[in-house]
Amino acid sequence: MYLNDPNHLQVQDLNAIEANELAMAFINDELIEPMERNNLLDNDALSLLNVVGGALKSIAQKAYAYEKMFDKDGKMPHYYN
């Protein structure tokens, strides 16, 4: 358990872009690079991984924009109109 660990990063402390970058870094370090070292990925697979990475980055940017629409109290900007 991480309840008392001050170094543990809580998911709610991350915005969408930061969470995406951490997830993509993990996938790269733990899955893609070892597969490349062992010649398990061809050029087509690497190209497809680039497309998937770009799509995930785009989704994270849109999610971040959605996060930014909220005021500090968590309500939509037009809530008080």
pLDDT class for 69, splitting at 50, 70, 90? confident
For the chain, what is the largest distance between any 2 Cα atoms, rounded to a whole number of angstroms? 59
What residue type is 31 in one-letter code? L
Residue 6: what pLDDT? 64
pTM (two decimals)? 0.73
Residue 1: what pLDDT? 45
Gap between the Cα atoms of 48 and 36, Å rounded? 14
Gap between the Cα atoms of 59 and 16, Å rounded? 9
- Parse the chain into domains and list their residue ranges: 15-68
Given a cut of 90, whether residue 51 has pLDDT beyond it is yes
Residue 23: what pLDDT? 94
Least confident range from 14-18, 37-41, 43-47, 77-81: namely: 77-81
Residue 66: what pLDDT? 87
Gap between the Cα atoms of 20 and 8, Å rounded? 17
- Nearest to residue 63, comparing CAs of 31, 21, 34, 27? 21
